[in-house]
Amino acid sequence: MDDIWKLQVWDDLKAVFPDGMNGSRVLFTTRIKDVALHADPRSPLHELHFLSDSDSWELFSKRAFPMDNDEIACIPELENLGRQIVARCGGLSLAIVILGGAVIAKREDFKCLVEGASEYSEVPTGKLMLLWIAEGFVQQRDEESMEDVAEDLLEELIDRSMIQVSEKRFDGGIKICRIHDLLRDLTISEGKECKFFDIAENMYGGTSTARTCRLTVHSNLSKYVSMSHSNPHLHSLLRISHTEESLRRDQWKFLCQSLKLLRVLDLECAIVQILPKEIGELIGLRRTGLHRLPSSIGNLRNLQTLDIRATKITIVPSQIWKMHQLRHLHLNKTSIMGRQPAHDSVRNLRTLSSVSIHGNSWIHDFLGKLTNLRKLGIEGYFMSQAEALSKSLVKLSSLRTLQLSGKDQILDPTLRLLLNHSKIYKFHLGGAIERLPHPQEFQPNLTKLSLEMSHLVQDPCVTLESLPNLRILILLLNSYRGNEMVCSAGGFPKLHGLELEDLHKLEDWRIEEGAMPNLRRLVIPDCEVLKMLPEELRYVITLRELLLLSMPDKFQARIREDDGDYWYKIQHIPSVVIS
């Protein structure tokens, strides 16, 4: 039975199968997890996964070149374009079949299909949920934050198979998602018909966008602006492209003056030197990723997200604190904030990232006011401000994620205070430290720790393997400068993810029997003197994914599937990527 959507269907049929012990089997497919569990909660679900790269290419070849597969080998350009199409399909079999069929129908436009395949691209869940909130799709629920409610909604859509998981974070959360191609086609058709949204794919014809509420532009934003008229209904304007495009100041002015009800403005890779003061006329704007900031930006009282990370903005005007609905503020490493805000103006702030320390007053007078802050990223010189920083962090009772990138050495007393913050679960520390504190001085519920430029000379595993709830450990560039690392028996009892990156002196890594009993993902990039993977890695049966990136050719050759001497160490791992 294929494509069951309701619990009642199985309830109506199961009476026909009274004997469950005669060896017969009933197989049905569904996109809703609750339906599958309802049929037999004791049996494990068989969840279909995306095709591998090799299987994807084989399927595409059979569909696109059913009688003459040898043609591909004769025309390298054809094969390269075909592989680009397959890569963009991301393992979705139906997408591969559809595009393969399109190649049969119209081979002369083969190259155009490469760009068309981007319709099946993936979406970061963090960005998706912020867009939901900005659009007003997420409603406040009791004491939960809007972000938590949005995450619950995302999980519900995944359970109903309306959204697919493309990539998970180390902690099991959803990092990247996608929508099935059939469902995407349906939503586009229905959305256009009811004027819920539109896609400006053809600037010279097609459906009029004059009354649509939401518009996506894949390219040629400047052409769209020059050909458009005022749209009093438009709430959202998104540019989705990886190619840069410049807009003139008069074009920005037109956008600001003609789109009075705009809530979401997300212009990916759009370049602007100076924003016009008219940006302040978009009083309904809730999310933007723009560049230069005029003082009139303070008029955007409903703005929820301001992201200037990919800009060269050095001065953030104090008028941003007039935006009382601001929830997520992403600065860049060179940004300097203007006058400090009053307490009421920052009550909704949840994220403050990449803020630079330029004086004691900022830490002492401002940081402690951010009582609802959940994620904080600070860069600068901490030694002279250690006491003020520690006192301010104690006041941040909602803080869950802390990212510190120091330009000087972080002394032991400061480090102990930071690591023992009672609410912080995720901690990134960049900068030199003398040594790691004793395991008992760490916050016991710490689940994620990443270190960078720590210059530790003692094996960090001696300390970190004793942390009872650590699930993710990331050791980045020069975090450890020793040549040997040992994971002891019984160490890292709950570790799910381990990344060892740019450890340029690490030669030997040993794993004792019983270490890391729950490890699922292992990533090792750019450890150029590492001799080989540990022998005991073959006994870590929970490991599901291994990524070896930018490792020496000799290292790679010894663990390849075909003729590698040490393939046996990793042959039990379902997903192995060597690049």
DSSP 466-478: T-TT--EEEE-TT
CATH superfamily of 304-446: Ribonuclease Inhibitor (3.80.10.10)
Q: How confident is the model at residue 73 (pLDDT cuts 50, 70, 90)?
A: very low
Helix (H) or strand (E) holding 451: strand 448-452
pLDDT digits (tens, 9 = 90+) for 137-163: 888 888 788 888 999 999 888 877 778
Residues 6+ apart with CB under 8 A from 540: 511, 516, 517, 519
Per-domain residue ranges for the chain?
Answer: 7-39, 53-120, 123-176, 180-282, 304-446
Three-state SS at 185? helix
Number of helices (H), then strands (E), belonging to the chain: the values are: 17, 26
Predicted structure pTM score: 0.71
Higher-pLDDT residue of 134, 475: 475
Give, in order, the Cα–Cα distances in Å from 39 to each of 24, 28, 29, 33. Answer: 15, 10, 11, 10
Alpha carbon 149 to chain centroid, angstroms: 18
Q: Which residue has the higher pLDDT, 570 or 166?
A: 570
Residue 228 has a pLDDT of: 59
Count of all residues that appear for the chain in the document: 579
Task: Round to whole Å and give the CA distance between 135 and 264.
Answer: 7
Q: What is the pLDDT of residue 120?
A: 45
- Give the model confidence (pLDDT) of 409-450 as tens digits: 776 667 777 777 778 899 999 988 888 989 988 888 899 999
CB 479 within 8 Å of CB 503: yes
Q: Is the pLDDT of residue 110 over 80?
A: no
Start-to-end CA distance of the chain, whole Å, equals: 41
For 291-311, the pLDDT digits (tens) are: 456 777 788 777 888 887 766
> Does pLDDT of 317 surpass 70?
yes
pLDDT at 315 over 80: no
Query: What is the C-alpha separation between 332 and 311, in angstroms, rounded?
Result: 7
What is the per-residue pLDDT for 8? 80
Pairing, β 174-178 against β 164-168: antiparallel
The predicted structure's pLDDT at residue 524 = 96
